[in-house]
C-alpha cells in the first residue's frame, strides 16, 4: 500500500523541483523516499503516516530545545498577536542585538538577516568593502550557504583559484575564491605568502559540520587568526551551525579565537527564519546607511522570529545547559562506538557540544579527503535500519547530527539499543 509519504512526494515533484524546497531533504544521498513531517514535540517528530521518529536532525540545528518548546511557542504566538512585521525598528531587535553583543566575545555590532546564506553573503561583501580586496579563501567541504562566491570547488592545483561548484555561477566570480584543504596549515601559509595582501577574507566553519563533523586540528584556527592579522585580511567564523550549539560562547569561546566577523543562524532563530552577522565595530560601520557597503532585507529582524530567538537564547543560558547537552551527546557517540566495537563493525563517532559526527571508518576524519574515504554504503544501511526502528538521523553521510535538551537519557538508551541490534545483525 502506498504510504502517504510516497503519495505526497510523487505529487510534490509535480510542483516543486525534486519535490523539496532544499536539496538535502530529497534523500538523494541515502536513497529512498523523503519523509514528510506533520508534527514535532520535544525530541520526536511524526510523519504523514503518523509514524513517530526520535529526531537527531532538529531541522539541521535550530531546535536545540527540541520541537515546539512551550516557552518559544508562547513567545511566538503572543508576538504574532501584535502584528507580524513592520519593516521598521522594534525594541525586540535592540534587545537581541544587545544580547548577541554580550554573549559572543568578538561581536561589537550586529546586523540581523533572515538566513545563514544572507549572513555569509553579507559578511563576504562587507569584508571586501572594508579591505578593498576581492580574493577570499574557503575550505573544501565547508558549506556557507548558496551565495555565488561560496559555491566554488577547489581549482586543479591546490593554490589555483576556484571553479564553480554549481551551474549559474560565473567563472569570473568563482575565480576570486581560493579553496584549500581544511586543517592544512602548509597550504594556508603558502597561500598567504603568495597572495596575502590580495586576500579580503578567510571564511571558515570553526567546527566543520557540512562534510559530516570535522574538528579543527590544534593550531589550525590560531594560525588562521595570526595570518589574517599579519596580512590585514578579515577572519570570518561561520558559526551558523556552531553558534550556541557547541557552547554558551560559540566555537570562538570554546577555542579562544576572536574572529573579525561572525555569522550566526539556526539556534539564534529558535526555529524561525533568523540569522545575523557581526563583529568589529570598525568593520560593521562600513555598512549602509553609515558606510558604502550595501545590505538590506524586508523581513530582517522580524519581530516573530526575534521573539523565538530571544526566548531560545535566554533558555540556553541556564546554568549547566551545555554541560548537560554535551553529556547527552557524548552518551550517544560513546554508546554507538561501544556497540559497533562489540560487534566488530568499523565505526567511530565524535561530538562537540550538542553536535556529533558518525563515521564508518576506524578514526574520525580530519579533512574532506578523509571524509570521502569513510564507508558511505555502510552509513546508508545504518541510516535506513535506524529509520525503520523509528530513529531519524541526517539523511546524508556528509552532515552532522544534533542532540537537543529534550533528548532524555531514555531516548539515548533507546537509540543505543536499536543500534546494538542493527550492528548485531550487520551483514
Runs of H (alpha helix) within 317-426? 321-342, 368-372, 376-388, 409-424
Q: Tell me whether strands 391-392 and 52-55 are parallel, antiparallel or unpaired.
A: parallel
* H or E stretch covering 7: helix 4-15
Contacts of 130 (CB under 8 A, 6+ apart): 200, 234, 283, 286, 293
Q: How far is the CB of 200 from ligand KE4 (least distance, A)?
A: 18
Cβ closest to ligand KE4, residue 239 vs residue 340:
239
Q: Is 143 a catalytic residue?
A: yes
Point out the catalytic residue in the list 47, 238, 260, 411: 238
Q: What is the rounded radius of gyration, in angstroms, for the C-alpha atoms of the chain?
A: 21
Sign of the Cα torsion 125, 130, 136, 138 reads negative
Point out the catalytic residue in the list 138, 184, 255, 266: 266
Cβ closest to ligand KE4, residue 179 vs residue 422:
179
Cβ closest to ligand KE4, residue 278 vs residue 335:
278
Q: Is 392 a catalytic residue?
A: no
**Residue with CB nearest ligand KE4?**
116
Q: How far is the CB of 141 from ligand KE4 (least distance, A)?
A: 11
Q: How far is the CB of 138 from ligand KE4 (least distance, A)?
A: 11
What does the binding site for ligand KE4 look like in residue numbers (CB under 6 A)?
22, 24, 60, 115-117, 120, 143-145, 205, 209-210, 238, 240-241, 265, 275, 399
Cβ closest to ligand KE4, residue 26 vs residue 339:
26
Question: What are the cell numbers at 277?
Answer: 552577522
Task: For Cα atoms 153, 158, 163, give the angle at the middle one, nearest 5 degrees.
Answer: 25
Q: How far is the CB of 241 from ligand KE4 (least distance, A)?
A: 4
Question: What are the cell numbers at 142?
Answer: 565547508
* H or E stretch covering 204: strand 199-204
The DSSP 8-state label assigned to residue 198 in this structure reads G
Q: How far is the CB of 60 from ligand KE4 (least distance, A)?
A: 4
Cβ closest to ligand KE4, residue 144 vs residue 407:
144
Distance between CA atoms of residues 312 and 280, nearest Å: 25
Q: Is 238 a catalytic residue?
A: yes
Point out the catalytic residue in the list 56, 130, 143, 322: 143
Distance between CA atoms of residues 257 and 279, nearest Å: 13
- Positions marked catalytic: 143, 238, 266
Amino acid at each position: 500500500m502506498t504510504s502517504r509519504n510516497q503519495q505526497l512526494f510523487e505529487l510534490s515533484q509535480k510542483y516543486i523541483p525534486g519535490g523539496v524546497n532544499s536539496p538535502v531533504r530529497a534523500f538523494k544521498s541515502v536513497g529512498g523516499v523523503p519523509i514528510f513531517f506533520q508534527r514535532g514535540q520535544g525530541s520526536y517528530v511524526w510523519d504523514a503516516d503518523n509514524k513517530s521518529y526520535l529526531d537527531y536532525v532538529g531541522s539541521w540545528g535550530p531546535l536545540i530545545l527540541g520541537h515546539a518548546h512551550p516557552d518559544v511557542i508562547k513567545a511566538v504566538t503572543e508576538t504574532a498577536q501584535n502584528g507580524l512585521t513592520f519593516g521598521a525598528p522594534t525594541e525586540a531587535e535592540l534587545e537581541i542585538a544587545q544580547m548577541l553583543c554580550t554573549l559572543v566575545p568578538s561581536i561589537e555590532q550586529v546586523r540581523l538577516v533572515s538566513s545563514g546564506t544572507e549572513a555569509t553573503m553579507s559578511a563576504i561583501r562587507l569584508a571586501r568593502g572594508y579591505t578593498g580586496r576581492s580574493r577570499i579563501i574557503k575550505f573544501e567541504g565547508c558549506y556557507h550557504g548558496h551565495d555565488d562566491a561560496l559555491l566554488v570547488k577547489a581549482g586543479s592545483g591546490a593554490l589555483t583559484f576556484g571553479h564553480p561548484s554549481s551551474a549559474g555561477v560565473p567563472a569570473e566570480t568563482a575565480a576570486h575564491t581560493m579553496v584549500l584543504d581544511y586543517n592544512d596549515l602548509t597550504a594556508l601559509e603558502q597561500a598567504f605568502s603568495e597572495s596575502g595582501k590580495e586576500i579580503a577574507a578567510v571564511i571558515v566553519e570553526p567546527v566543520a559540520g557540512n562534510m559530516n563533523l570535522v574538528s579543527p586540528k590544534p593550531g589550525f584556527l590560531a594560525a588562521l587568526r595570526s595570518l589574517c592579522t599579519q596580512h590585514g585580511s578579515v577572519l570570518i567564523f561561520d558559526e551558523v551551525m556552531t553558534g550556541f550549539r557547541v557552547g554558551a560562547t560559540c566555537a570562538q569561546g570554546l577555542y579562544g579565537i576572536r574572529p573579525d566577523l561572525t555569522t550566526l543562524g539556526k539556534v539564534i532563530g529558535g526555529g524561525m527564519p533568523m540569522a545575523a552577522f557581526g563583529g568589529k565595530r570598525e568593520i560593521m560601520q562600513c555598512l549602509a546607511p553609515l558606510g558604502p557597503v550595501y545590505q538590506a532585507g524586508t523581513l530582517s529582524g522580524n519581530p516573530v522570529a526575534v521573539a523565538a530567538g530571544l526566548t531560545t537564547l535566554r533558555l540556553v543560558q541556564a546554568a549547566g545547559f551545555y554541560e548537560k547537552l554535551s553529556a547527552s551527546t557524548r552518551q550517544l557517540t560513546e554508546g554507538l562506538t561501544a556497540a559497533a566495537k562489540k560487534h566488530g563493525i568499523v565505526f567511530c563517532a565524535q561530538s562537540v557540544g550538542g553536535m556529533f559526527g558518525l563515521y564508518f571508518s576506524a578514526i574520525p576524519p580530519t579533512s574532506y579527503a578523509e571524509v570521502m574515504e569513510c564507508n558511505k554504503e555502510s552509513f546508508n544501511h545504518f541510516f535506513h535500519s535506524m529509520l525503520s526502528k523509528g530513529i531519524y538521523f541526517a539523511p546524508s553521510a556528509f552532515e552532522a547530527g544534533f542532540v537537543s535538551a529534550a533528548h532524555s537519557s531514555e531516548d539515548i538508551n533507546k537509540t543505543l539499543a536499536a543500534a546494538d541490534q542493527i550492528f548485531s545483525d550487520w551483514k
